[in-house]
A = this chain, B = another copy of it.
Amino acid sequence: MARYEIYVTYKQGIFDPPGATAERALKNLGYEGVEEVKIGKFIRMSADATEASVAEMCDKLLANPVIEDYRIEIVEGD
């Protein structure tokens, strides 16, 4: 059993609506120093699976490879 952390982010140049909304909202709240906000997914998984298999899960279901990048980190091995 391994624990994985997966970071899913929009690819460079892809518009990020939740991030843009948060950015505007923070500025409206008075946080003028906010420059850019990007919101992605932080997935934690416990699985009896190899990293290659987790990458496959990302491609098939957890991320949209057309518009998103992902990075997989093994937090804890067997």
Q: How far is the CA of A41 from the CA of B47 in the complex (A)?
A: 20
Task: Write the nearest CB–CB distance from A66 to chain B, whole angstroms.
Answer: 18
Whether B36 contacts A45 by the Cβ 8 Å rule is: yes
| Interface residue count on the A side (C-beta < 8 Å) | 32
The CA-CA distance from A44 to B53 in the complex, in Å, is: 27
Which residues on A are within 8 Å of B, measured CB to CB?
1, 7-9, 19, 22, 25-26, 29, 31, 33-49, 53, 57, 60-62
Evaluate contact between B42 and A39: CB separation under 8 angstroms.
yes
Whether A43 and B47, one on each chain, are in contact in the complex, defined by CB atoms closer than 8 angstroms, is: no
Least CB distance from A35 to B in Å reads: 4
Q: Say yes or no: A49-B34 contact (C-beta < 8 A), given A7-B42, A40-B42, A42-B7.
A: yes
